[in-house]
Amino acid sequence: MRRRYDNLRRIQSLDPEVDFEEIYRQMLLVEFPFDMKLGLNLGFNRSFSTPAVAAVLAGTGELTERAQKRRDDTGLLMYEMILHGFDHPRGRAAVRRINQIHRPYRDMPAAEYRYVLACCVVIPLRWLDRYAWRRPCCHERRATFRFYAELGRRMGVTGIPDTLPELESWFDTYDAEHLVPNAPAAAIERATRVLLVTPGGLKDALLSALYDDRLRAATGVPEPSWPIRAAVHLGLRGRALALRHLGRPRTVPRFADGLRAKSYPDGYDISELGPAP
Q: Give per-residue pLDDT as tens, 11-57.
A: 999 999 999 999 999 999 999 999 999 999 999 999 999 999 999 99
Nearest to 146 by CA among 171, 128, 121: 121
| Domain-embedded: residue 3 | no
Q: Is the dihedral of CA 25, 80, 105, 184 positive or negative?
A: negative
Q: How many CB atoms lie within 10 A of CB 94?
A: 25
| Domain-embedded: residue 4 | no
Task: Identify the pLDDT of residue 145.
Answer: 98
What angle separates helix 51-60 from helix 110-131, to the nearest 10 degrees?
100
Task: Identify the pLDDT of residue 1.
Answer: 59
pTM for this prediction:
0.95
Task: Identify the pLDDT of residue 40.
Answer: 96
Task: Identify the pLDDT of residue 107.
Answer: 87
| Domain-embedded: residue 8 | no
Task: Identify the pLDDT of residue 189.
Answer: 94
How many structural domains comprise the chain? 1
| Domain-embedded: residue 6 | no
| Domain-embedded: residue 9 | no
| Domain-embedded: residue 69 | yes
The residue range of the domain holding 70 is 16-266
Mean pLDDT per block of 10 residues along the chain (277 residues) reads 86 97 97 96 95 92 86 95 97 97 90 97 98 98 98 96 98 98 95 82 90 97 95 97 92 88 93 86
| Domain-embedded: residue 5 | no
Task: Identify the pLDDT of residue 25.
Answer: 97
Cβ atoms of residues 211 and 77 within 8 Å: no
Cα 277–Cα 56–Cα 72 angle in degrees, nearest 5? 60
CA terminus-to-terminus distance, the chain: 53
